[in-house]
Structure formats: structure tokens, C-alpha cells
Amino acid sequence: MRTARQWRAPRRFLITGAAALLTAPLAVIGTTAPAAASVIRFERATSISYTDAKQPAVAFPVDTTDNVPVGTWKSDGATHTSRAYFTFDLMPYRGKEVINAYGVTGESSVTDCEKPRKIEIWRTDTPAQPPTWNTAPQVHENADAVFDSPACPAGYLELDLTDIVRQAVADGQDSLTLMARIAGKKEKERRFGRWLKPLGISIEANAAPDVPSALTVEGRTCTDGLLIGTTRPVLSAEITDPDKVDGFAGDQVSATFAWWPADRPTERTEWTSYPYYAPTRFTYTVPEGGLVNGGTYAFSVRAADQHASSDWSPECRFTVDTVRPPAPTVTSTDYPSGWNPPGHGGPGIPGTFHFTAPGADDIAGYYYGESGPFSYMAADESGAATISHAPTRSPSGRLYVQAADRTGNRSAQTIYEFTVRDTAPRITDGNPGGAFGEPRELTFTPGMEDVVEYTYRLNDEEPVTVPAGADGTATATITPRKSGSNRITVTSRTSGRLPSGEGQLSFYLSTEPTVSSEQYPIGGAEGALVGTPGTFVFHPGMPGVTEYVWSVAGGPEQTVAAEADGTASVTFTSTFGGFHWMEVYSRTADGTVSGTASVYFEATSWAPTIESTDYPVYQESGGPGVAGEFTFRPARDGVTGYVYTFEGEEERTVTAGADGVATINWTPQSYPADRSGWVRLTVRATMGSMVSDETEHSFVLNRLAPTVTSSDYPPTGGGGPNVPGQFTLTAQMPGSTEFVYRYNGDEQTVAAGADGTATITLTPQYDGSHYLYVSSRTASGITSGEDYYYFQVNYPG
């Protein structure tokens, strides 16, 4: 018996702490090493009870989550002495090897933490009913004393139960009952009493893997007389293991493959895989040189986990046959080989083809097909086969054929070529220039004898069948209503129900409208100036047009009604120079939509130019309150004025001089912090009612934020918490009359002196980094940009 031990961390149990004890899952997977995984279950007691010497004839069963008393305790002025009993189900461990078992409990309360812990765990018989003090079950060996813990009460206590659980499983017991008590005479001393949390057992157990099953060679199930067509076959087996817990992976298992010549079992070769979680299928490829053609071999598989191995599986035998059969011979009287116009039969008309493999005595069948050997026909006892095949095209027919032996080896490919008569009907279009929606009379002429009917289809419409006349011809009228490519297909059939090949006729119907414009010629010639209204005339591409839908440069679609002659006119005024895409389609009253016409035209730009030495383009200059001059120059004669906008401000106009030039002055009222100082000026020239396309002039304003200096708190550090310091603010923006500053989130103002400066006093409340944000303002409200002053406050002492 182990009595007093130093407290230590639990060795194998994966869940620690009192809270985890109460919420532990029923099963976990040990993963101490990839090759040594095993299943660990945390078993809770199936029943818990305690006895009381004060009431020796009474049993006290409790819920399996309740705490129980051990030792001596008081209640309602009476003294009680108790022992606790915990029963566990061992049925899941029958036939398994117990690797480790650790009991886990904890204290919910302790009478006197000054006294050492004296808890013992004993194995007893399993009682049929919750025991009383008088009917206590037979006590056997002492399992262990629970580990000491410096905590009191200790939320987590552990003890080694491996020997007891292992012996109980080995003896075939269905259950295990453990008694908790206070050791010896200490049991009657109240100072040693305590209340325990429900005892649980963390059990690591293992069952040997199952015997491998479902053995295959090259993916083929083992059967008598199995033939394999390779000397490097892939062997495989399904491996399972009883140690599989729902919701978790099972044990890691490995597979050992053993193979040998069937008549020389001592020439055995074995190979063991890496471990992997069961269930799984393991495969092994026999290395080059291990097998020879004509040899018969056997293999078997054994599974193993960290602790045990299965028996060897029943052996699987196979014979290696790598000899390919000869290429087959193909003959047909219905479709003789060779190029012999006009050919025989026709598309869809079946013919008989005969396959043989001269010199081979183990032919199982033939693979064949018009585009490759994909279909299969079994051979008769003589090794020959006959198929019926209908060619699908003319004039060239082809069959790809391979012979296959009983092993599955395929021969070289035979390509049988023959001539197929063209039986497709001819189609004559009576109105080849017909427009969209106009009827066309089609005449079908036979391509074979005894035609009694034709079946034709226009595009994806339903097929239509018409009878043939006495001369074998037929007529049909169609009215195509599909823009773009159209196709008619037709087949015929004889009185004997023989089908013909397929005849085809394709034609194209253009339904897109056409577009014309005097001001903006279609197709790319230089058009009118930007801002010039242009008239665009839409002309129908199909009859019955009632309206047009049009858009320019990806803009919104607009609808215009057609005139009686099917045309329509719209007006569009360009706002930018260069190429413009216009898309137009038409509709009829019944909802028929034409194709879309995509055309382009060009508008001539006359956007002005912008000059400024005060605020040059793409440069940083000026700033809030700094006036700047901007000059607008025309791109052509006749300009009378300009429309301009500084970003964020209202649109303004200015009249041009006789030379078309205009000059404006502009003073920024604030620094655009949200745009990092960028200002965008856009200008358009005007000429009467016409407005040009836009010119952009972008530049950056200087921030003109005040500067800050402080001898009390320089950037490198000074002062300390609660030590006042002075800061001098110096304006950089002309005309500044006050400063706006923010410190620790509070915004305040201070007047600027005649010299453009002001001094403020700040008292930092903590050491470390600090920021003072400052800007300035003029009397008229012009605001500079904001900047910050960074300084360090020294740590006190």
C-alpha cells in the first residue's frame, strides 16, 4: 500500500482541474506519439451511494453527479461516519488489454485542512443493492491512497487503479465497485472528514486489430484462378480495429503484407506500412523484379497497433499473365473494308461485323467503338464475336477494335476503315435572300431509294414530319424568327424504316438596326464639337419594328417609338471628347427582339487649358488664406466664358475676354484634411449655349499648421506626471488671430498675440507618449490644417 506521496501532476489522464472533471467526455484519444495512439475512455460510476454508522440499516444512494461524505461529519447536532461506494461498468473492456487506469476525484469540502489527507480506495464485491453500514460488501485489496495535493479542498485528486482494473477485466468481471473511506482510526475523527466529488476512472485499454479483410489484387477481389496482367500489382486490404469510438478517430494501425511464390512458401517477403488511423485500406505495390510472367503467388496481411497484432488473413492467390493477345481481325460483308465509293449502307443503317484473334486460345472478348474501343462484347467458345453496328457519319466509317484475354490484357488496336454511302437528303431554299420573319419554302430531295417521309427541325424547335411524294421529294414552309445563325436539319426514312444520314442548311438573318448621324458620322470620322446636339436615325433590320432601345457609353437605356416606316430619331449631346459607343436594338409589337447593333462615333474635344503659377498642377503650394490666380485659355476661337468648380464648392462662371481668355482669383478657406490637402479644379468652356468637355487641374495645399515648441517638454522628454509645462504656439498661416488645440480629447482656443504666437500651460497626468494637436484661424474664419506636437513625459523617480 502506498500511503503518503508528494503531490504531482497526473501522468496520463488528459483532463485536469475540477471543472474538467465534471464535464469530461466519455472518450478521448491519446496522442502522445503518432505511432502510439490509443483509445482512453473516462468512465463515470453507474451507481454511487454511501453508508452511515449512525443509521447502520439505511442505504443512501445518490445521483451520479452528487458529492458524498467520507469519514466523520456532523449534521443537525448528530455525528455520522460514512463510507462511499462507486460501481463501474467493465463490459466495454471484455477481451481487451488494460494499459493504464487512473481514478480521478476531488474534494468539495474539508473539515480541517490542518490535518493530512487520509483517503483510501478499496475494491469490494459489487452489491446487488446499495449497501448499508450493516450489509457492506466484502472488502478485498487496497487500491491506493489518493495523491496528496497542496490545495485544500483539492479540486483534483488522482490515484493509480491499473492493477485492480486489469485484474478485474482479466477475471471476466462485468463490474467493479470501489469503496472510499478515511484510513484506520482516523475514520472516527471528525477533523479528517471531507466530502468527495464523484469518483471516475480514466481507462486506457486496447483490443487487437481485426483480421484484415477484403483483400484485392489490382483492384480485383480474390477468387479462384485470379489472373493479373502486371508484374508489379497493387495489393490491398481493409484494416479495422475494435478500438473505435463514435465521434473520434480509432487506433493507429499498421499493415504487414507478406507474399511468396505459391509453391515456395519459404521465399517469403514482408513489408510493413506506416501507421494510420483505422478503419482504412492499406495498399502495397510489389517491387520490380519480384514477380515473373506465368508465376502463381500468394499473399496475406496482418494488422497491428501499439500493443497487439491480429492473426494473418486467409491467403489470396493469383497468377501473373503479361502476354498481350494478337491484334484482332475484322470483317464485314455489309460494310466491306476500303475506300469504295459510293459506299454501302448509310448513317444509322446497322451492319454486321465479325471479330477474331487468330492464334490466341484465351480470348475473353473484344472492345470496340466508332471513336475508340469503349464498348465490350464477350467472345464465344472459339474466341470470336459478332456485333451489329450502325455508322453515324458518311462517307468514311471507322471501327477501333481490341482483343482482350481472360487476364484483361488488351491487344494492339486494329482500325477497320470502310465507306459509308451518303444517304442524307438535299435541301433547296426557295427564298435564300429572305429577311427575318419572311416565309421560305424548302424542298427535300432524297439521297436514297424508297423514301416515304422526312423529319426536319428549324434550330431548336420541335421536329416536324412530312410525307414524301411519289417522286420521293417533299416541301415545307418555315418562317424563321431568330436573329443571327439559323440551321435546318432533315433526315428521311424508307418504307422499311431505314434511316438516312442528316442533311443540313445554314443561313444568317441580320436583324440589327442600322444607325446614321449627320453631326456624328458612324464609324469613326471626326464628328461635331462636344456639346453639339446630334441627331441619330435608327433604321429597322426586320419588319414590324415598333420601338428602339438605345444607350451611349454604358449609360442608361432609353426607349423611343418607331415611326410608321419603322425608323426613329433621337438627339444626343456629347459631354466628352473622343470615341463613344452606342448600342441599339429594336422590338416588334409581339415582343420579338432584334440583334444589338454596336456602333461608334467621335466627338471633337475643345476643352480649355488651365494655368497657375501660384498653384501649379500636381504640386504642393499656397495654403489656407493664400490667394492664387488661375488662367483659362480656349482650345478654339469663339469661346465666350467658362464654368468652373473647386472641389467641395459651388459651381461658378466667368466671362472670357475678346481673346477667349479669363483669369480668376481664389483663396482657400480651409485645409481639406479628408483629401490630404488635394484640391481638384474642373473647367468647361462655353460658346453660346454650347458647353465643352471638362479639363481637370489638381494640386495640393500646404497645411500651414502652427508650430509648437516647449523647453519644459521637448520631444525627447521632460517634466513628469502632474508637472505643469509651457508650450509656445507660432502661427504659419497669415492673418491668424487664434489657435485651436486639442489635448487628451479636450478642444480649446487661445488668442494669438500681435506677433502671431500664444503660450499655453498643460499638466500631463501620466508618463510616456503625449500628443498636442494644433491649428489656427483668422478673424474671417479661414482655418489652417491641423498638425501635432509629440513629446515624452518622464517616468517619476
pLDDT in tens, 292-340: 999 999 999 999 998 999 999 999 999 999 999 999 999 999 999 999 9
Assigned fold of 514-604? Immunoglobulin-like (2.60.40)
Question: Residue 8 corresponds to which amino acid?
Answer: R
- Average pLDDT estimate for 512-540: 94
- For CATH 2.60.120.1200, the residue range(s) in the chain are 18-206
- Average pLDDT estimate for 762-776: 95
pLDDT (0 to 100) of residue 246:
59
- Rg over CA atoms, the chain: 49
Pairing, β 440-445 against β 474-478: antiparallel
Task: Return the H-helix or E-strand segment holding 538.
Answer: strand 533-539
Q: Give the angle subtended at the CA of 683 by the CAs of 679 and 689, to the nearest 5°.
A: 155
CATH of segment(s) 707-793: 2.60.40.10
As separate numbers, helices (DSSP H) first and strands (DSSP E) second, the chain gives 2, 61
pLDDT (0 to 100) of residue 25:
37
- Note the pLDDT tens digit of each residue in 446-461: 999 999 999 999 999 9
User: Which tops the pLDDT comparison, 143 or 476?
Assistant: 476
User: Which tops the pLDDT comparison, 387 or 13?
Assistant: 387
pLDDT (0 to 100) of residue 39:
77
- For CATH 2.60.40.10, the residue range(s) in the chain are 213-320, 329-419, 426-509, 514-604, 707-793
- Average pLDDT estimate for 120-130: 95
* Per-residue pLDDT at 149 exceeds 70: yes
3-state secondary structure of 23: helix
* Per-residue pLDDT at 48 exceeds 70: yes
Q: Give the Cα separation of 225 and 22 in Å (integer).
A: 60
* Per-residue pLDDT at 32 exceeds 50: no
Q: Give the Cα separation of 506 and 504 in Å (integer).
A: 7
CATH 2.60.120.1200 corresponds to the domain 18-206: yes
* Per-residue pLDDT at 6 exceeds 50: no
- For CATH 2.60.40.1930, the residue range(s) in the chain are 609-701
- Give the number of residues written for the chain: 797
Q: Is 430 left (phi over 0), alpha (psi -120 to 50) or beta?
A: alpha
| pLDDT range class, residue 2, cuts 50, 70, 90 | very low
The residues that bridge with 285 in the sheet, in sequence order, are 234
User: What is the homologous superfamily of the domain 213-320 according to CATH?
Assistant: Immunoglobulins (2.60.40.10)
pLDDT (0 to 100) of residue 34:
37
Pairing, β 252-261 against β 736-743: unpaired
User: Could you tell me the CA-to-CA distances from 504 to 343, 422, 432, 494, 664 in Å, in that order?
Assistant: 20, 13, 14, 19, 73
* Per-residue pLDDT at 23 exceeds 80: no
Assigned fold of 426-509? Immunoglobulin-like (2.60.40)
* Per-residue pLDDT at 780 exceeds 70: yes
pLDDT (0 to 100) of residue 249:
60
List b or e across 363-389, with b for residues whose CB sees 16 or more CB atoms inside 10 angstroms. Answer: bbbbbbeeeebeeebebeeebbbebeb
Looking at the structure, give the CATH architecture of the domain made up of residues 329-419. Sandwich (2.60)
Question: Residue 220 corresponds to which amino acid?
Answer: R
Grid coordinates standing for 476? 415545307
pLDDT (0 to 100) of residue 741:
97
pLDDT (0 to 100) of residue 247:
57
For 734, residues 6+ apart whose C-beta sits below 8 A from its C-beta are 625, 626
Grid coordinates standing for 109? 469540502
Looking at the structure, give the CATH architecture of the domain made up of residues 609-701. Sandwich (2.60)
Q: Give the Cα separation of 682 and 632 in Å (integer).
A: 11
Question: Taking all residues of the chain, what is their mean pLDDT, rounded to a whole number?
Answer: 92
Q: Give the Cα separation of 203 and 178 in Å (integer).
A: 15
